[in-house]
Amino acid sequence: MAFTLPDLPYAKDAFGKDMSAETFDYHHGKHHNAYVTKANELVGADASLQGKSLLELIQLSKGGAKPGLFNQVGQIWNHSFFWLGLSPETQEPTGKLADLIKEGFGSTEGLVEKLKAAAVGHFGSGWAALNLVNGKLEVASYHDADTPVAHGAAPLFILDVWEHAYYIDYRNARPGYADTILGKHVNWAFVAENLDGKGAERANQPG
Protein backbone atom coordinates (compact mmCIF):
# COMPACT_ATOMS: atom_id res chain seq x y z
CA MET A 1 0.00 0.00 0.00
CA ALA A 2 1.44 3.39 -0.99
CA PHE A 3 1.74 6.24 1.47
CA THR A 4 -0.63 9.13 0.85
CA LEU A 5 -0.72 12.85 1.55
CA PRO A 6 -3.13 13.28 4.48
CA ASP A 7 -5.87 15.86 4.21
CA LEU A 8 -5.54 18.98 6.32
CA PRO A 9 -7.90 18.96 9.33
CA TYR A 10 -9.05 22.53 8.54
CA ALA A 11 -9.55 24.80 5.53
CA LYS A 12 -6.40 26.27 3.98
CA ASP A 13 -7.64 29.81 4.65
CA ALA A 14 -8.67 29.13 8.27
CA PHE A 15 -5.59 30.86 9.76
CA GLY A 16 -5.91 34.09 7.80
CA LYS A 17 -2.62 35.96 7.47
CA ASP A 18 -1.05 34.04 10.35
CA MET A 19 -0.53 31.08 8.01
CA SER A 20 -1.85 31.84 4.56
CA ALA A 21 -3.60 29.60 2.08
CA GLU A 22 -0.59 30.14 -0.19
CA THR A 23 1.68 28.73 2.49
CA PHE A 24 -0.53 25.66 2.80
CA ASP A 25 -0.53 25.27 -0.99
CA TYR A 26 3.26 25.11 -1.03
CA HIS A 27 4.04 23.58 2.36
CA HIS A 28 1.37 20.88 2.39
CA GLY A 29 0.56 20.55 -1.30
CA LYS A 30 4.13 20.60 -2.63
CA HIS A 31 6.76 20.03 0.10
CA HIS A 32 4.87 17.43 2.15
CA ASN A 33 3.58 15.78 -1.00
CA ALA A 34 7.12 15.56 -2.41
CA TYR A 35 8.24 13.54 0.62
CA VAL A 36 5.31 11.17 0.10
CA THR A 37 6.14 10.74 -3.59
CA LYS A 38 9.84 10.10 -2.99
CA ALA A 39 9.19 7.68 -0.12
CA ASN A 40 6.87 5.66 -2.34
CA GLU A 41 9.54 5.54 -5.04
CA LEU A 42 12.19 4.28 -2.59
CA VAL A 43 9.92 1.70 -0.98
CA GLY A 44 8.61 0.54 -4.34
CA ALA A 45 12.16 -0.18 -5.50
CA ASP A 46 13.04 -2.37 -2.49
CA ALA A 47 10.89 -5.42 -1.75
CA SER A 48 12.32 -5.68 1.78
CA LEU A 49 10.72 -2.33 2.67
CA GLN A 50 7.26 -2.97 1.30
CA GLY A 51 4.39 -3.46 3.73
CA LYS A 52 6.14 -1.58 6.54
CA SER A 53 4.54 1.39 8.27
CA LEU A 54 6.07 4.85 8.50
CA LEU A 55 7.19 4.20 12.07
CA GLU A 56 8.78 0.90 11.11
CA LEU A 57 10.65 2.54 8.24
CA ILE A 58 11.84 5.36 10.50
CA GLN A 59 13.28 2.85 12.95
CA LEU A 60 15.07 0.70 10.37
CA SER A 61 16.50 3.68 8.45
CA LYS A 62 17.64 5.88 11.38
CA GLY A 63 21.25 6.38 12.39
CA GLY A 64 22.56 6.52 8.85
CA ALA A 65 21.38 3.03 7.90
CA LYS A 66 19.31 4.36 5.00
CA PRO A 67 19.65 8.17 5.09
CA GLY A 68 17.76 8.78 1.84
CA LEU A 69 14.77 6.83 3.08
CA PHE A 70 14.94 8.30 6.59
CA ASN A 71 14.77 11.84 5.23
CA GLN A 72 11.53 11.07 3.40
CA VAL A 73 9.65 9.00 5.98
CA GLY A 74 10.80 11.19 8.86
CA GLN A 75 9.47 14.24 7.06
CA ILE A 76 6.16 12.58 6.24
CA TRP A 77 5.64 11.75 9.92
CA ASN A 78 6.83 15.16 11.15
CA HIS A 79 4.58 17.08 8.79
CA SER A 80 1.52 14.93 9.42
CA PHE A 81 1.93 15.41 13.18
CA PHE A 82 2.61 19.13 12.74
CA TRP A 83 -0.70 19.75 10.93
CA LEU A 84 -2.64 17.93 13.65
CA GLY A 85 -1.06 20.07 16.35
CA LEU A 86 -2.34 23.32 14.85
CA SER A 87 -5.74 24.96 15.29
CA PRO A 88 -7.28 28.11 13.80
CA GLU A 89 -8.34 29.06 17.34
CA THR A 90 -6.48 28.00 20.45
CA GLN A 91 -7.73 27.43 23.98
CA GLU A 92 -5.90 27.15 27.28
CA PRO A 93 -4.63 23.72 28.34
CA THR A 94 -6.71 21.99 31.02
CA GLY A 95 -6.62 18.93 33.27
CA LYS A 96 -3.52 16.77 33.46
CA LEU A 97 -1.79 18.71 30.71
CA ALA A 98 -2.23 21.98 32.59
CA ASP A 99 -0.81 20.36 35.72
CA LEU A 100 2.25 19.06 33.86
CA ILE A 101 2.83 22.45 32.26
CA LYS A 102 2.66 24.19 35.63
CA GLU A 103 5.01 21.63 37.16
CA GLY A 104 7.57 21.88 34.37
CA PHE A 105 7.36 25.48 33.19
CA GLY A 106 5.32 27.44 35.71
CA SER A 107 2.66 28.48 33.19
CA THR A 108 1.52 28.04 29.61
CA GLU A 109 3.35 31.24 28.78
CA GLY A 110 6.53 29.77 30.27
CA LEU A 111 6.19 26.67 28.08
CA VAL A 112 5.51 28.75 24.98
CA GLU A 113 8.64 30.80 25.65
CA LYS A 114 10.71 27.64 26.03
CA LEU A 115 9.34 26.26 22.76
CA LYS A 116 9.93 29.58 21.03
CA ALA A 117 13.53 29.66 22.26
CA ALA A 118 14.08 26.14 20.89
CA ALA A 119 12.52 27.10 17.55
CA VAL A 120 14.31 30.43 17.11
CA GLY A 121 17.62 29.21 18.48
CA HIS A 122 17.74 26.15 16.26
CA PHE A 123 20.47 26.62 13.65
CA GLY A 124 19.34 25.68 10.17
CA SER A 125 16.38 23.52 9.24
CA GLY A 126 14.53 21.34 11.70
CA TRP A 127 11.85 21.05 14.33
CA ALA A 128 11.04 22.18 17.88
CA ALA A 129 9.07 19.64 19.88
CA LEU A 130 7.28 19.04 23.14
CA ASN A 131 7.70 15.47 24.37
CA LEU A 132 6.66 13.44 27.39
CA VAL A 133 9.69 11.76 28.93
CA ASN A 134 9.42 9.72 32.13
CA GLY A 135 6.16 11.42 33.01
CA LYS A 136 7.49 14.97 32.56
CA LEU A 137 7.29 17.49 29.74
CA GLU A 138 10.50 18.23 27.86
CA VAL A 139 11.26 20.63 25.01
CA ALA A 140 13.66 19.38 22.34
CA SER A 141 14.83 20.28 18.86
CA TYR A 142 15.70 18.08 15.90
CA HIS A 143 17.81 18.77 12.83
CA ASP A 144 16.58 18.41 9.28
CA ALA A 145 14.34 15.30 8.98
CA ASP A 146 15.09 13.95 12.43
CA THR A 147 12.04 13.21 14.54
CA PRO A 148 11.16 12.43 18.16
CA VAL A 149 9.82 9.00 17.22
CA ALA A 150 13.32 7.96 16.14
CA HIS A 151 14.53 8.45 19.72
CA GLY A 152 11.89 6.77 21.84
CA ALA A 153 10.26 10.01 22.97
CA ALA A 154 6.48 10.29 23.34
CA PRO A 155 5.65 13.28 21.09
CA LEU A 156 2.96 15.75 22.11
CA PHE A 157 3.54 18.64 19.66
CA ILE A 158 6.02 19.61 16.96
CA LEU A 159 6.73 22.92 15.21
CA ASP A 160 8.28 23.11 11.76
CA VAL A 161 11.18 25.56 11.59
CA TRP A 162 12.28 24.80 8.03
CA GLU A 163 12.27 28.02 6.04
CA HIS A 164 9.52 26.72 3.76
CA ALA A 165 7.18 26.73 6.78
CA TYR A 166 7.22 30.50 7.15
CA TYR A 167 9.02 32.30 4.33
CA ILE A 168 5.92 33.22 2.31
CA ASP A 169 4.21 34.88 5.28
CA TYR A 170 7.15 36.02 7.44
CA ARG A 171 10.11 36.12 5.02
CA ASN A 172 13.21 35.45 7.16
CA ALA A 173 11.53 36.42 10.47
CA ARG A 174 11.40 33.02 12.16
CA PRO A 175 10.78 34.66 15.60
CA GLY A 176 7.57 36.29 14.31
CA TYR A 177 6.35 32.98 12.91
CA ALA A 178 7.16 31.07 16.11
CA ASP A 179 5.58 33.72 18.31
CA THR A 180 2.35 33.79 16.27
CA ILE A 181 1.87 30.05 15.87
CA LEU A 182 2.84 29.12 19.43
CA GLY A 183 0.88 31.99 20.93
CA LYS A 184 -2.30 31.69 18.87
CA HIS A 185 -2.55 28.36 17.06
CA VAL A 186 -1.53 25.38 19.20
CA ASN A 187 -4.20 22.68 19.36
CA TRP A 188 -3.87 22.04 23.10
CA ALA A 189 -6.67 19.46 23.01
CA PHE A 190 -4.55 17.41 20.58
CA VAL A 191 -1.49 17.86 22.80
CA ALA A 192 -3.48 16.54 25.77
CA GLU A 193 -4.70 13.53 23.79
CA ASN A 194 -1.09 12.52 23.21
CA LEU A 195 -0.45 12.13 26.94
CA ASP A 196 -1.79 8.58 26.52
CA GLY A 197 1.48 7.71 24.78
CA LYS A 198 -0.18 7.13 21.41
CA GLY A 199 0.95 10.36 19.79
CA ALA A 200 3.38 8.58 17.50
CA GLU A 201 0.59 6.50 15.99
CA ARG A 202 -1.51 9.55 15.18
CA ALA A 203 0.72 10.44 12.25
CA ASN A 204 1.64 6.88 11.31
CA GLN A 205 0.51 5.21 8.07
CA PRO A 206 0.48 1.52 7.24
CA GLY A 207 2.79 0.42 4.46
Please write the tens of the pLDDT for every residue from 22-33. Answer: 999 999 999 999
In the chain, the number of structural domains is 1
Residue environment code for 162-197, b if the CB has 16+ CB neighbours within 10 A, otherwise e: beebbbbbbeeebeebbbbbbeebbbbebbbebbee
pLDDT tens figures, 123-155? 999 999 999 999 999 999 999 999 999 999 999
Share of the chain above pLDDT 90, in %: 99
pLDDT at 195 over 90: yes
Is 74 a domain residue? yes
The pLDDT tens digits for 143-186 are 999 999 999 999 999 999 999 999 999 999 999 999 999 999 99
73-97 per-position pLDDT tens digit: 999 999 999 999 999 999 999 999 9
Q: Is the pLDDT of residue 1 over 90?
A: no
In a domain, 14, yes or no: no
pLDDT tens by residue, 109-123: 999 999 999 999 999
| pLDDT for res 163 | 98
The total of other beta-carbon atoms located within 10 Å of residue 53's CB is: 17
Closest to 156 (Cα-Cα) out of 109, 115, 207:
115
Residue 88's domain comprises 20-207
For residue 66, give the CATH number of its domain.
3.55.40.20
Q: Does residue 9 sit within a domain?
A: no
